Amino acid sequence: MNKILEIDMKNMVAIVQPGLINMDLQRAVEAVGLFYPPDPASQDYSTIGGNVSENAGGMRAAKYGITKDYVMATRAVLPNGDIIKAGKRTIKDVAGYNISGILIASEGTLAVLSEITLRLIPKPKMTKTAMGIFPTVNEAMEAVYKTMASGITPVAMEFLDNLTIRAVEQVHSKGLPVDAGALLVTDVDGNLEDDLDFQLAQIKKVFTENGCCEFRIAKDDKEAADIWFCTS
């Protein structure tokens, strides 16, 4: 029960079995230019069925939402053995009860999922990563909500306090500033480099206005991966 049954390019949906690993789905749809955003920390080994049953989120939830926002239809087996189908593979499905919505996050207590139809979106062409260094936790927290209120929605934003920074540096030596009160790591994505640069410029402005003493933009994918490694 771990197969991709269909990737519908025209309607941008995927029909999968519940045992499919999240990351395997992401790689398969990205190979054809599509994107499945929910990315729980366990994405390398957690299954889509488990993600639906738990309504899993992930770092990209800030911009793209969580699992429930991508489940369009389900097939499930009830405790008495009956098989039900709920939802449709169309965006507009407003008739009747939202049975699929009830099954999401039910943790397997209502039914056993046997097939899931997921909404996909076009894959953003590029991503950029940045890190803001703050003297205190309070200043970093102010920067988070003011960034969201500014009209810029980062793909993700992760926080590290000084204790975490020093622990990461002690074990992995990633070049983090051990005297910083807090770090904010963020991603932006899009299809135009000018748009990404604009988003980062706006985030830098908000960060600086709220005490950020240094704003670093990753020069390449390796540096971006090293920055995000520190948050995991």
Same domain, 11 and 116: yes
Same domain, 94 and 18: yes
**CA-based end-to-end distance of the chain:** 29
- pLDDT tens string, the chain, 232 residues long: the values are 999 999 999 999 999 999 999 999 999 999 999 999 999 999 999 999 999 999 999 999 999 999 999 999 999 999 999 999 999 888 777 778 899 999 999 999 999 999 999 999 999 999 999 999 999 999 999 999 999 999 999 999 999 999 999 999 999 888 899 999 999 999 999 999 999 999 999 999 999 999 999 999 999 999 999 888 877 7
The Cα–Cα gap between 149 and 58 comes to 21
Point out the domain boundary residue: 122, 144, 171. Answer: 122
Give the CATH number for residue 61.
3.30.465.10
Q: How many domains does the chain have?
A: 2
Same domain, 8 and 114: yes
| Structure token digits, residue 74 | 């389900």
Beta strands in 17-88 (DSSP E): 34-35, 71-77, 83-87
Give the CATH number for residue 170.
3.30.70.3450
Phi, psi of 77 (to 5 degrees): -110, 125
pTM over 0.85: yes
Same domain, 16 and 104: yes
Same domain, 116 and 176: no
Same domain, 8 and 118: yes
Same domain, 85 and 137: no
Task: Note down the domain range covering 48.
Answer: 4-122
Point out the domain boundary residue: 77, 102, 122. Answer: 122
- Own/partner pairs for 24-32, CB < 8 Å, 24+ apart? 25/118, 28/4, 29/120, 29/123, 30/123, 32/7
